[in-house]
Amino acid sequence: DSGVTQTPKHLITATGQRVTLRCSPRSGDLSVYWYQQSLDQGLQFLIQYYNGEERAKGNILERFSAQQFPDLHSELNLSSLELGDSALYFCASSVAGSGGGELFFGEGSRLTVL
């Protein structure tokens, strides 16, 4: 158990809809990262938050947004969903903000868009 909790584990929705994925980082970790994993693209970094502030953006679409709350949990909002958004979405946490260090991943949220 990595200590990172993600909900929901699975969700199925229709094109055009909006969903929210939730992540609670490991106790003491201030950084939260969101990744998208698909078979053809592998793990793609979406966005990082550190102690409530956006720290870096990766390949995140404009239809997607995220935030980190004062209690350090984070939410990833996906809107105007398309078939191609079907993927595994992982949250990871680490102690460091701008540095490296081990990433601890949750078990992921599997999104299916029909």
Partner 1 sequence: QKEVEQDPGPLSVPEGAIVSLNCTYSNSAFQYFMWYRQYSRKGPELLMYTYSSGNKEDGRFTAQVDKSSKYISLFIRDSQPSDSATYLCAMNNAGNNRKLIWGLGTSLAVNP
- Decide whether 96 or 114 has the Cβ nearer to partner 1: 96
Q: Does 65 bind partner 1 (CB under 8 A)?
A: no
Nearer to partner 1, 13 or 45 (CB): 45
What span, in angstroms and rounded, lies between the C-alpha atoms of 45 and 98? 15
Site membership for partner 1, residue 100 (CB under 8 A): yes
- 3 touches partner 1 by CB under 8 A: no
Taking each continuous run of H as one helix and of E as one strand, the counts in the chain are 0, 11
DSSP labels, 66-105: EEE-TTS-EEEEE-S--GGG-EEEEEEEES-SSS----EE
Task: Name which position in 11, 13, 45, 61 contacts partner 1 (CB under 8 A).
Answer: 45
**What CA–CA distance (Å, rounded) separates 76 from 102?**
22
- How many residues contact partner 1, by CB under 8 A? 29
Rule CB under 8 A: say whether 92 interacts with partner 1.
Answer: yes
- Mapped onto helix, strand or coil, the DSSP state of residue 11 is strand
Residues in contact with partner 1 by the rule CB under 8 A: 2, 4, 31, 33, 39-40, 42-45, 48, 55-56, 58, 90, 92, 94, 96, 98-108
